[in-house]
Amino acid sequence: MQEKLTALRDAALGELQIADSAKSVEELRVKYLGKKGELTAILKQMGGLSAEERPVIGALANTVRSEIENAIAARSAEVDAIELEHRLKAERIDVTLPGKTPRVGHKHPMSIVLDEAKDIFISMGFTVAEGPEVELSVYDFDKLNIPPNHTVREWSDTFYVAEDESVHLRCQTSPVQVRVMEKQSPPIRIISPGRVYRKDEVDATHSPMFHQIEGLVVDRGITLGDLKGTLNALVGKLYGTGTKTRFRPHHFPFTEPSCEVDVECFVCGGKGCRVCKGEGWIELLGSGMVHPKVLAGVGIDPDEYSGFAFGIGVERMTMLRFGIDDMRLLFENDTRFLSQF
């Protein structure tokens, strides 16, 4: 057994001399000194030795273990120093080279326009209100005077979450107006920006997910003239005082009377093109006087108070603001496009 221990020591010391990495040194430690290592295997045979041989072999085994452990520690230090030297050479930094200029981010074009619109409305006395994007149908439909047979309630138009159609991704931010009117007495003057969802086909001016700013004013003596003046002030500040608008009669269940507001196409100047679909105008928003049923449904007396509401597509506002002819560019995250702003 003395010969085995001596041979094991010589083999271990020899292999450690040529170990060239911390990983290989650790593998040798496990091979010779581990629980299932070669030294342990030899020591398990000591049961067959005589009483006189055991102390001698035990002392030799301890000496062999100590020599191997010392050799492992010494070689580990040498390998670590070698690896550090190689790493320092490989990762050497030339301080004479010019530094890299950090890339500075900036606002997305939609964020720019949204912040501008918020500032304009806040300067007119509006406050900002927010609400959930996953909405109860009673707030998004019923309390907005939208009848059960309205097309917007169809599965083909709305992203329902519940099979009983009681919960869905909101189609508009109008439910925020209802929630505010339930909690706050007139006078009310709010805007409610946020994401909304409709099952629209993706094209140059439509997307199944888009952003809106909706506004609501409720007070005594509010007229359609107040609505028109507010919206013309917004368009004038966003796009310039010479921007042409067009108010068209329309129908919305939650406003009466209702109108849509168009802005002259920025691409063709009103002549008709692909962006405006040959009409010369781009629809910007829907608006109208708050329906008396909506006011009564939230506990506001429609004989004493009146109000107006409107909803603006932030994407279309952005397209008009910067002359962008395809909404899809706003969502593709192409830095070549976004860096222009």
Q: What pLDDT score does 43 carry?
A: 72
CATH code at position 240: 3.30.930.10
| Nearest-5° Cα angle at 73, 67 to 77 | 145
How confident is the model over 314-337, as a mean pLDDT?
A: 87
- Residue-wise pLDDT for 173-227, tens only, equals 999 999 999 999 999 999 999 999 998 888 877 889 999 999 999 999 999 999 9
Pair (122, 54) in one structural domain: no
Pair (263, 333) in one structural domain: yes
| Residue 69 belongs to domain spanning | 2-90
Residue that terminates a domain, selected from 55, 90, 125: 90
C-alpha 169/C-alpha 209 separation (Å) is: 10
Q: Would 281 be classed as within a structural domain?
A: yes
Task: Give residue 260's identity as a one-letter amino acid code.
Answer: E
Pair (186, 260) in one structural domain: yes
Q: Do residues 301 and 308 lie in contact, with contact meaning Cβ atoms separated by under 8 Å?
A: no
Q: Would 103 be classed as within a structural domain?
A: no
- Residue-wise pLDDT for 289-303, tens only, equals 999 999 999 999 999
Residue that terminates a domain, selected from 31, 57, 90: 90
Is pTM beyond 0.75 here?
no
C-alpha 202/C-alpha 181 separation (Å) is: 34
Q: What pLDDT score does 127 carry?
A: 96
Pair (48, 130) in one structural domain: no
Helix, strand or coil for residue 139?
helix
How confident is the model over 39-68, as a mean pLDDT?
A: 75
Q: Would 101 be classed as within a structural domain?
A: no
Q: How many CA atoms lie within 13 A of 13 on its CB side?
A: 13
Q: What pLDDT score does 341 carry?
A: 86
pLDDT above 80 (res 276): no
Q: Do residues 152 and 158 lie in contact, with contact meaning Cβ atoms separated by under 8 Å?
A: yes
- Residue-wise pLDDT for 7-31, tens only, equals 878 887 888 888 888 888 888 888 8
Q: What pLDDT score does 15 carry?
A: 84
Pair (76, 133) in one structural domain: no
Pair (212, 159) in one structural domain: yes
With left for phi above 0 and alpha for psi between -120 and 50, is residue 3 left, alpha or beta?
alpha
Pair (283, 180) in one structural domain: yes
Q: Would 95 be classed as within a structural domain?
A: no
Verify cis geometry, omega within 30 degrees of 0, for the bond prior to 208.
no
Pair (145, 72) in one structural domain: no
φ, ψ of residue 43 in degrees (nearest 5): -65, -30
Q: Do residues 305 and 209 lie in contact, with contact meaning Cβ atoms separated by under 8 Å?
A: no
The band of 103, judged by pLDDT with boundaries at 50, 70 and 90, is confident
Q: How many CA atoms lie within 13 A of 126 on its CB side?
A: 23
How confident is the model over 126-145, as a mean pLDDT?
A: 94
Pair (285, 329) in one structural domain: yes
Q: What pLDDT score does 309 carry?
A: 96
